[in-house]
Amino acid sequence: MKTGQQYKDSLRQRNIKVYVKGQLLKSNEVIDHPFIRGHVNSAALTYDLAHDPAYEDLMTVTSHLTGKKINRFTHIHQSVDDLMKKVKMLRMISQKTGTCYQRCVGFDAINSLYSVTYEMDKKLGTEYHERLKKFLEYWQENDLMVAGAMTDPKGDRSLRPGQQADPDLFVHIVEKNDKGIVLRGAKAHMTGMVNSHEMLIMPTMGMAAEDADYAVSCAIPVDAPGIIHIFGRQTNDDRKSEGEIDQGNARYGIVGGECLTVLEDVFVPWDRVFMCGETEFSGMLVERFACYHRQNYGGCKGGVSDVVIGAAAVMADMSGYGKANHIKEKLNEMIHLTESLYACSIACSAEGRPTASGAYFVDPLLANVGKHNVTRLIYDIDRIAQDIGGGLTATLPSESDLKNPEIGKYVEKYFKGVSTVPTEYRMRIARLIENMTGGTALVESMHGAGSPQAQKVMYSKLSNLEHKKRCALDIAGVPAEVAKELQAVTASKRK
């Protein structure tokens, strides 16, 4: 297993093309850029924690393929206990970083592909599962960071991939030969991509038969020829080129360092291809990935919210109103909401079941309900934090003003709370609240792992409404014939 420093050193060996604000970075300096450095640090912590005896049970596990001790982020879930420990691990790391550490997407991608390729091979006689296991051994042996790459730009959302005016708006196969395939297109909003070693391409939706060239999954090095990464903007990101205080979370940054990854005729050898036109399995892969990824959010957002709660409580103490009853009530409400998020992630893990491959899968209904809660409750948690934090979280002068020899004394004097706490520390907490409850972080809570509508579609499909109707009719004493008639009328109206 790599250490954090070994992980960073390995990134410098890549020949990666990354653009930030229109400028091409030197490949060995990508991880040092102010916009990227924090994201690298948060990912590096997932490596260092695996060597800490205090977290060994959460961070490490025995590979079911090799019998070796591995980082849990490279593991295929073998039990309900694995699913539970994943969520507990995510909350623990989030409490230490206050942000995203980016390894979850690839983690969920490999687990989804593991069960789907097994079932694909059983039905179609393909060889994808054995290929995937060989890639997984390589992944585990080298303790790689692999970015999951599902989301396509999508273009006109009313049209299917093959109907788009520009076919490249969804990643697709443009050539097949005896050595492999060639891909063209782009993946958007790619978390942790520029500080990963590899990416796992997946279809972004269930594909129809006519969209076979878009039903593709494969592994590609992030620095393969033809790949360009265009780094995305984040809230207040120019502050990362300035002082430390104004960043709020200078060590670990905001969210996951997302980017647009362009694939311009990228060659992929057959031994790295895990789906190639099997449209009937594309929807299964998307749904399993979505459920695994939505399982995460009560863990990671629970841990992040723990930090937000702590920051709000500290700000109240520093401002002199920490013992006020209304503050205690607000903090209790934040705690209630946070534990509600966590409970759903634990529940969907506890209700997990084995797939045909032997790998364990979460309860999909509870996973989707949990992620949908995140799209709502995080806003309430952050709103309360902003309420407690006060107006200065949005209007503070800069760190440069605080340190200016002429005007610093006024910033120190007029933004002090309780007399025993230096103004700088109060400013640090205010900026942390601003950082964690602002634009980029909230948008990620809304759309990470799919928009709220995506979760509604899933839990509507999974909730078995007809069974609920039958329960009500039985208890009310309504005859079965009436229930059947109602069902027939409803079905005809839908048509």
Output the six-digit token pair for 158: 């009313």
Q: How far apart are CA 80 and CA 65, in angstroms?
A: 18
Among the listed residues 100, 218, 276, 291, the single catalytic one is: 100
Which of 16, 21, 52 lies closest to 34 in space, CA to CA?
21
Which of 9, 5, 4, 35 lies closest to 22 in space, CA to CA?
35
- Does 293 qualify as catalytic in the annotation? yes
Give the contacts of 114 (CB within 8 A, at least 6 positions apart): 76, 129, 132, 136, 357, 359
Output the six-digit token pair for 44: 């590096």
Among the listed residues 258, 287, 399, 434, the single catalytic one is: 258
- Does 444 qualify as catalytic in the annotation? yes
Among the listed residues 300, 342, 360, 393, the single catalytic one is: 300
Give the contacts of 196 (CB within 8 A, at least 6 positions apart): 102, 106, 144, 145, 146, 147, 222
- Does 300 qualify as catalytic in the annotation? yes
Q: How far apart are CA 322 and CA 418, in angstroms?
A: 11
Q: How far apart are CA 296 and CA 87, in angstroms?
A: 6
Q: How far apart are CA 245 and CA 247, in angstroms?
A: 5
- Does 348 qualify as catalytic in the annotation? no
Among the listed residues 46, 99, 104, 434, the single catalytic one is: 104
Among the listed residues 99, 293, 372, 375, the single catalytic one is: 293
Contact 434, 382 (CB under 8 A): no
Output the six-digit token pair for 47: 């490596």
Query: Three-state SS for 317?
Result: helix
- Does 104 qualify as catalytic in the annotation? yes
Output the six-digit token pair for 304: 């992040």
- Does 100 qualify as catalytic in the annotation? yes
Q: How far apart are CA 130 and CA 135, in angstroms?
A: 9
Among the listed residues 214, 297, 342, 360, the single catalytic one is: 297
Output the six-digit token pair for 195: 């500080």
Among the listed residues 60, 97, 99, 191, the single catalytic one is: 191
* DSSP-H helix ranges across 125-214: 128-142
Q: Among all residues, which ones are annotated catalytic?
A: 100, 104, 191, 258, 293, 297, 300, 444
